[in-house]
Amino acid sequence: MRLNYIYNFSYVSNENESYFTYSVYSSTVISRFVMDDGGQIQQQTWSESTKAWFLFWSQPKTPCEVYAYCGAFGSCNTNSQPYCNCPRGFNPKSKGDWDSEVFSGGCARAKNLQCGNSSAVNGKSDRFFPSYIMKLPANPQIVAAGSAQECESTCLTNCSCTAYAFDGGQCSAWSGDLLNMQQAADGTDGKSIYIRLAASEFSSPKNNKGIVLGGVVGSVVIVSLVALVLLIFLKRRKTVKMGKAVEGSLMAFGYRDLQGATKNFSEKLGGGGFGSVFKGVLPDSSVIAVKKLDSISQGEKQFRSEVSTIGTIQHVNLVRLRGFCSEGNKKLLVYDYMPNGSLDSLLFSEKNSKVLDWKTRYSIALGIARGLNYLHEKCRDCIIHCDIKPENILLDAQLCPKVADFGLAKLVGRDFSRVLTTMRGTRGYLAPEWISGVAITAKADVYSYGMMIFEVVSGRRNSEQSEDGKVKFFPSYVASQINQEDGDFLSLLDHRLEGVADLEELTRICKVACWCIQDEETQRPSMGQIVQILEGVVNVNPPPIPRSLRVFDCQENIVFFTESSSSQSSQPQSHTSTASTQSKNTTSNTSPRS
């Protein structure tokens, strides 16, 4: 087997036929192509170390891109587990299938509609319940309506109309089953759809009157208890504030305390393979970020030991762990809140008016390198992050970068290989050695860092699809410019910066990124070397073009590699190998910066 690589790909295209084939270099490697129940085709490799199938490639890349993956009336959300859920007023048509993660049967109404139902109670009519930030279902019918009220009325009078949407002055209506409903990934382009439900799904006016009357009577009792409640709250407030110190400044929180601090986990900041993050406020008014961990199978003693280790790691470029909660299967981590969010929100959002200037971007790249170098070389035991990407780089009020989620790979344990396959956007940053299942070293973080730095420079995802269906892979373009005597480095820069950048810094950081993504991990520099290069105390030599990038350039019209986001952008890099200079040739002799 060739080092770090598994497959030999071949693409044939002539006037008579076009086809794609692959073979496995080693007979000891087990590979398979499967199509799951939802219609997604996957290429998997058996990992002997984890005794599980490792997802190498899939198309469509996420289940939600499979047409009608969740069936009739089912809604798909790439940021949730499971991916499918039923909207209000609907239940899974086959609970057994859904429990087995087979969602194609879709959802069925919990209660029959009144419209067209002769047994319906007189005086009641169907109503509509809104679902927000959605990608609208397929096959809408355009209806003539001048307002949202008129659009609703038109749908209500037509018993076959199951939903409507009014956007941009246009009324869209759907009849029969709703297919291919999706929750918008980031909420920026989401629409509102109003789904028809039976009147009995809503509370009646009579019930409302009873509730109001009961509330008035009950308020008399409540007022008499206000003083007592306030006393109890103030006493409990001190307990939540202080928590229980377990080591140094690390605090142990109760689950109810964090539930109250986050208002029952109502304000979600984001999520990933390790769990979801929610904003909270402690009684002392300090703002926190609470991560609810998924797939934690460790025992109580081991979990507390690992968390205590993470809590002792403090660096200006690492997110500080303030405390944790461990009650049964409820495992939560409490971090400092970062007001400027994650790096991806500032790099890739077209609607974000705040564009990072070059000085800030370079400072961010250097700060991340310093944080990773601390994890790799300054801690008692080397900590490999395993998931470096813009989404895991947080920015404080001064735009100082903070590496988040470090130490969680060890916390999750061997289950991390499964976690990786569910993390949207992660595989674009995975080093080739991940694919082959060999032991992972700190150089896997170096590879991910390099892929991320390309995006810091360009302000866009590394892999983009053009109108003719070809893939533009930004790292390939950077490598080609670096190896030209008259390479145009300013053309690599985010167009929003209008060419305003330090050319020496731009050249230096592009060379570093190319060194980081070398095929062989021994060729990649350490994070300590990267820090020295970016600080200007060490010069960097021109890097060789990774053979994987040359292969990609030759085959960039292959549909197999076509992706619309970064989640697959680096996979072609695991197809070939190269033998070149070792990491010692990354830099030249140490010299002070002029």
Annotated binding-site members for ATP: 292
* CA atoms of 195 and 163, how far apart (whole Å): 4
Give the residue among 519, 557, 567 at the shortest CA–CA distance from 20: 557
Tokens for 165?
Answer: 């949407």
Q: How far is CA 322 from CA 185, 249, 257, 311, 341, in A?
A: 30, 7, 14, 7, 18
φ, ψ of residue 590 to 5 degrees: the values are -65, 135
**419: CB partners within 8 A, 6+ apart:** 273, 274, 294, 295, 412
Could you tell me how far CA 209 lies from the centroid of its own chain?
45
Q: What residue type is 508 in one-letter code?
A: R
Q: How far apart are the first and last CA of the chain?
A: 46
| Residues linked to residue 271 through DSSP beta bridges, in sequence order | 276
Strands (E) in 77-137, as ranges, are: 84-85, 90-92, 107-109, 127-135
User: Do 391 and 344 form a contact (C-beta atoms < 8 A)?
Assistant: yes
Q: What residue type is 449 in one-letter code?
A: Y
Could you tell me how far CA 82 lies from the centroid of its own chain?
15
- Point out the residues that are catalytic: 387
Give the residue among 135, 157, 133 at the shortest CA–CA distance from 145: 157
* CA atoms of 471 and 190, how far apart (whole Å): 26
Q: How far is CA 140 from CA 77, 161, 185, in A?
A: 21, 11, 21
Give the residue among 360, 366, 356, 342 at the shortest CA–CA distance from 509: 366
Q: What residue type is 547 in one-letter code?
A: R
* Binding-site positions: 292
Tokens for 142?
Answer: 């355009």
φ, ψ of residue 575 to 5 degrees: the values are -95, -20
* CA atoms of 339 and 400, how far apart (whole Å): 11
Give the residue among 345, 325, 349, 346 at the shortest CA–CA distance from 275: 325
